[in-house]
Amino acid sequence: MSKPKLVMVGNGMAGVRTLEELFKIAPEMYDVTVFGAEPHPNYNRILLSPVLAGEMKVQDIILNDHDWYRENRVNLHLGKKVARIDRVKRVVISEDGTEEPYDRLLLATGSTPFMLPIPGNNLEGVIGYRDIADTDAMIEAAKKYKHAVVIGGGLLGLEAANGLKLRGMDVTVVHLGAWLLERQLDEVAGKMLQKSLEDRGLTFLLEKQTEALIAGESGRVAAIRFKDGMQIPAELVVMAAGIRPNISLAEASGIYCNRGIVVNDTLQTYDPKIYAVGECVAHRGIAYGLVAPLFEQAKVAANHLANYGIGRYTGSVTSTKLKVTGIDLFSAGDYMGGKGTEEIVLNDAAGGVYKKLVIKDNKLVGGVLYGDTADGPWYFQLLKDGKDIHEIRDSLLFGQSMVGDVGHAGQSKAAAMSDDAEVCGCNGVTKGTIVRAIKEKGLFTLDEVKKHTKAASSCGSCAGLCEQILASTLGGAYQATASDKKPLCGCTDHSHKDVREAIVAQHLTTKEAVFEMMDWKTPNGCDKCRPAVNYYLISTFPHESKDDPQSRFINERSHANIQKDGTYSVVPRMWGGLTTPDELRAIADAAEKYNVPTVKVTGGQRIDLLGVKKEDLPKMWADLNAAGMVSGHAYGKSIRTVKTCVGAEHCRFGTQKSMTMGVKLEKMLFDMYAPHKVKLAVSGCPRNCAEA
């Protein structure tokens, strides 16, 4: 007896997840055929950004290789776009004429990038950002051209901008909104994100409306013009201004569509033999773009296709846990607040942490986390459960460890999570799925969890939580990954220890030499490895290594220490705690000239100018340098200060020339790279007035 035929149009994450769920419960039920417009098997679109940045290769993001299709006896048509569905004959026809009959049809056509309807949107060099072909086109453009413009300050736009910057392009992000990621972050978090990305070299034009793209002599895009008349160069324009459900095939086939392909709670269209899942779908008027809801749809559709008929998809309460160029972000629910709500806020701009929890009627209804998202899943569970938080309100902002077993914070946090709590938003993996895999498959390491559940295999932001679940489930049997074996970052498989040892053994003196010798995956590194490698080089060979100022952190680049309000602290060096009238006069003049609000004598026998604006730093340092003063390095892993007492030069109890020794020590150790900040003191007698 022949099996019924299931044909799937679209070979992306939502569709293939539906097949995976179907094969778990009814592996022999259908003869399955899949049409994919791209020439690749199913891959993780979330990881296109690391491919663009050079941190991963295309083969690294394949989720289901060709063997998977063969093992599951799937008839796979790659590079074939379906042109028509004959619903009367129940046949799909591809553009090359291939026909496949179906008894059940699954549409998983995904979405398409929204291309602004402006003059020049069809020029060479203007592309969307949705698939591997788009990524390859951007990589090739980065080899030939200098100026890139990304239209859209959402997640996709920021990841594209970061990748192009790492490829060596000058990148400007154009955004219509007043702050970045306005659908995931409030204004405070959005502005913090912008500042962090500006420090990495990206340029932003907010509240800008694009009027036209202008061609150069070759016919390729050369500039972008805005409605206010401003114009900037653009040899590559990436449209990342949103996506639209891909409903053209369904509409042409007479299937009812609205914002997307309209489906019921069993993911069936108005034609009950045709199902639809993923970004192409509109369920109860909502089209979802996050992975977790799409995987929930996949499970329900698979159950119904297998004739279980018990599952219903009633919509998703979504949270967003993102990693934007290495910065962790989380948002859920009504994070903007409003009438009848209260807000609990922690804002540590200098530490790069912002938390806002929105409460209504003693229930958590929304929140935004920036920089520290470890408690995001816990907050999300409180939100979904509608739990009364009155008794834990005082400590709510400080996370789950403050309301549980603080002696075992990580393990108790994982143990307290419910089984249906989402751990990996990228792949829709819950805690229960991970725990079952650990127990049933005998998993002991994070790598094994990644392999069997796909948790932590995408952006990696949930890796720490996965390790906590391993530890709480296995107890003493847990095999933690040794810190000296963990890769320095996604650009390399080598650990910090490997890099340090290679620098010494091979006498490497430039980061380019390190990247070449150790087969770095990306030619320019990333924001994690560049500062680390630069530090290892200079601390190992301080007189030979070539310093790369752009690989230093912002405090080191600006010779100042960023404060909680975004201004800077400037501390000129005073050798051995000594100064002169000319130096004091120069400091006073600088304080007056640049309207410094606070001048403080530090405990290290120096003077601190607090509240300096970022734009004033170069001019202030030019004035101080002209007076013979240099940075006190009050921000670096280096010699900070050498305090001295007056010693034998002046003190009647002094037996040693402490000031002379202090000045010599400080000048000898100046510019030294150290594992941590270093502070010294020299006393000239046993009374120890310098507190050495």
The mean per-residue pLDDT over the stretch 183-208 comes to: 92
The 3-state DSSP class for residue 375 equals coil
Residue 408: predicted pLDDT: 40
The mean per-residue pLDDT over the stretch 653-669 comes to: 90
pLDDT at 224 over 60: yes
Q: Look at 9-18, 195-204, 314-323, 588-597 and tell me which has the smallest mean pLDDT.
A: 314-323
Phi, psi of 178 (to 5 degrees): -85, -15
CATH topology of domain 567-682: Alpha-Beta Plaits (3.30.70)
pLDDT at 226 over 90: yes
Residue 414: predicted pLDDT: 74
pLDDT at 280 over 50: yes
- Candidates 418, 419, 398; CA nearest to 409 is 398
The pLDDT-based confidence of 260 (bands split at 50, 70, 90) is: very high
Residue 405: predicted pLDDT: 39
Is the domain defined by 350-477 classed in CATH 1.10.10.1100? Answer: yes
pLDDT at 539 over 50: yes
Residue 478: predicted pLDDT: 65
The mean per-residue pLDDT over the stretch 14-32 comes to: 95
Residue 624: predicted pLDDT: 93
More confident residue, 90 or 57: 90
Residue 411: predicted pLDDT: 47
The pLDDT-based confidence of 216 (bands split at 50, 70, 90) is: very high
The mean per-residue pLDDT over the stretch 306-319 comes to: 83
Q: Answer whether 564's CB lies under 8 Å from 349's CB.
A: yes
* CATH architecture entry for 5-110+245-305: 3-Layer(bba) Sandwich (3.50)
The mean per-residue pLDDT over the stretch 599-603 comes to: 92
Beta bridge partners of 545: none
Give the pLDDT confidence of 110-147 residue by residue, as tens digits.
999 999 999 999 999 999 999 999 999 999 999 999 99
The mean per-residue pLDDT over the stretch 514-522 comes to: 85
Residue with tokens 């913090």: 192
The pLDDT-based confidence of 681 (bands split at 50, 70, 90) is: very high
Give the pLDDT confidence of 357-379 residue by residue, as tens digits.
999 999 999 999 998 887 888 88
The pLDDT-based confidence of 481 (bands split at 50, 70, 90) is: low
Mean pLDDT of the chain: 89
Q: Answer whether 32's CB lies under 8 Å from 23's CB.
A: no
pLDDT at 554 over 90: no
Greatest mean pLDDT among 5-9, 399-403, 471-475, 579-583: 5-9
Greatest mean pLDDT among 145-149, 332-336, 499-503: 145-149
Greatest mean pLDDT among 144-158, 319-333, 475-489: 144-158
pLDDT at 59 over 80: yes
Residue 476: predicted pLDDT: 63
Residue 448: predicted pLDDT: 86
Q: Answer whether 42's CB lies under 8 Å from 11's CB.
A: yes
Residue 632: predicted pLDDT: 81
Q: Answer whether 331's CB lies under 8 Å from 185's CB.
A: yes
The mean per-residue pLDDT over the stretch 200-210 comes to: 94
- Candidates 72, 87, 17, 472; CA nearest to 277 is 17
pLDDT at 425 over 80: no
pLDDT at 99 over 50: yes
Say what the pTM is.
0.70
For 500-544, what is the HEC assignment? HHHHHHHCCCCHHHHHHHCCCCCCCCCCCHHHHHHHHHHHHCCCC
The mean per-residue pLDDT over the stretch 415-434 comes to: 80
Which of the four CATH numbers 1.10.8.80, 3.40.1640.10, 3.50.50.60, 3.30.70.590 does domain 126-241 have? 3.50.50.60
The mean per-residue pLDDT over the stretch 178-206 comes to: 92
pLDDT at 12 over 90: yes
Judge whether 5-110+245-305 and 567-682 match in fold.
no
Q: Look at 98-102, 287-291, 612-616 and tell me which has the smallest mean pLDDT.
A: 287-291
Report the 10 Å Cβ neighbour count for 242: 16
Give the tokens for residue 392: 């834990």
Give the tokens for residue 37: 């417009």
Residue 413: predicted pLDDT: 66
Residue 410: predicted pLDDT: 46
Helices (H), 145-186: 155-166
Phi, psi of 262 (to 5 degrees): -75, 125
Domain ranges of the chain: 5-110+245-305, 126-241, 350-477, 496-552, 567-682
pLDDT at 100 over 90: yes
Residue 412: predicted pLDDT: 57
Residue 241: predicted pLDDT: 92
